[in-house]
Amino acid sequence: MAREMVRQGGRSARIQSEVHRTVQDLLKTMDRGEITVPMIAEKSGVTPSTIYRRWGDLSELLADVAVARMRPVADPEDTGAMESDLEAFILQYAEEMSSKVGRAMLADVLGSMEGDAAGRCCQFTYDHLETLRERALGRGEAAFDVKEAIDFVVAPIIYHILFGDRELSTDYCRSLVSRFFVK
């Protein structure tokens, strides 16, 4: 009986979703710097010690919530052609990530060291791009390389969001995509 697994049903799961929901509610109302663990505990009807034991500290909890929110619910839109597929996806990605909540989620994800929140959230992007690539292959198009798309298009977007050194206009995002295809 070497398997001592995490319990995934019943009360434990109910508490997790309750805490997650509370955190998301609080993030709508107030700034992230004002949120505290005791505050979350009271609003969700859970004792603080439970939160500390399960998540360690506030930043880990916020990262966990952020990853959950970033988990995609559907495949990227199918526009009929690879280039427009990628452009549509990138425009939506840039808009989501550069919004206030998007930047907050990014910061939360990158502020955590346990649990590999950054890696998991990064994987969502890879998966989407891979979907677009396979879709292109199915159409018989000359598909792109996912890693190169990350380097040429995604990385600059994330960089400018994080460092705030450049406006993320739709024109600029489009230029990143077209630059990638003429390469």
| Position 58 contacts DNA (CB under 7 A) | yes
| Position 54 contacts DNA (CB under 7 A) | yes
For DNA, which is the closer residue by CB, 49 or 169?
49
Window of 41-49, 66-74, 121-129, 151-159 that interacts with DNA by CB under 7 A: 41-49
Query: Among residue numbers 74 through 103, which ones bind a copy of itself (CB under 8 A)?
Result: none
| Residue from 13, 151, 170, 178 in contact with a copy of itself (CB under 8 A) | 151
| Residue from 25, 31, 45, 113 in contact with DNA (CB under 7 A) | 45
| Position 113 contacts a copy of itself (CB under 8 A) | yes
Q: What is the 3-state secondary structure (H, E, C) of the chain?
A: CCCCCCCCCCHHHHHHHHHHHHHHHHHHHCCHHHCCHHHHHHHHCCCHHHHHHHHCCHHHHHHHHHHHHHCCCCCCCCCCCHHHHHHHHHHHHHHHHHCHHHHHHHHHHHCCCCCCHHHHHHHHHHHHHHHHHHHHHHHCCCCCCHHHHHHHHHHHHHHHHHHCCCCCCHHHHHHHHHHHHHC
| Residue from 110, 131, 143, 168 in contact with a copy of itself (CB under 8 A) | 110
| Residue from 48, 126, 141, 143 in contact with a copy of itself (CB under 8 A) | 126
Query: Which of a copy of itself, DNA, none does residue 45 bind to, with CB < 5 to 8 Å depending on kind?
Result: DNA
| Position 62 contacts a copy of itself (CB under 8 A) | no
Q: Which tokens hold the place of 5?
A: 């697994």
